[in-house]
Amino acid sequence: MNGKQAAGQKAIEEIREGQIIGLGTGSTVYYFLEALATKVADGFNVIGVATSQKTIKLANEWKIPMRTLSEVEKIDITIDGADEVDPQLNGIKGGGGALLYEKLVAKSSSRCIWIVDSAKTKKQLGAFPLPVEVIPFGWKYVRNYLSEKGYAPTLRLDTDGHPYVTDASHYILDLHLNTIVNPEALANELDHLTGVVEHGLFLGLTEKVIVGYPDGHTETLNQ
Q: Binding site: which residues?
A: 25-28, 80-83, 93-96, 120
Catalytic residue among 17, 34, 73, 102: 102
Q: Is 102 marked active-site?
A: yes
Q: Considering only CA atoms, which of 128, 143, 130 is closest in space to residue 198? A: 130
Q: Considering only CA atoms, which of 49, 52, 55, 58 is closest in space to residue 20? A: 49
Q: Considering only CA atoms, which of 182, 68, 87, 82 is closest in space to residue 131? A: 82
Phi, psi of 90 (to 5 degrees): -85, 155
Q: Provide the 3-class DSSP secondary structure of residue 34.
A: helix
What is the distance between the alpha carbons of residues 210 and 81, in angstroms, rounded to a whole number?
Answer: 10
- Taking CA atoms, 123 is separated from 87, 126, 130, 216, in Å, by 6, 10, 16, 22
Residue 84: what residue type?
E
Binding residues for substrate: 25-28, 80-83, 93-96, 120
Point out which residues pair with 79 in neighbouring strands.
Answer: 23, 113
Active site residues: 102
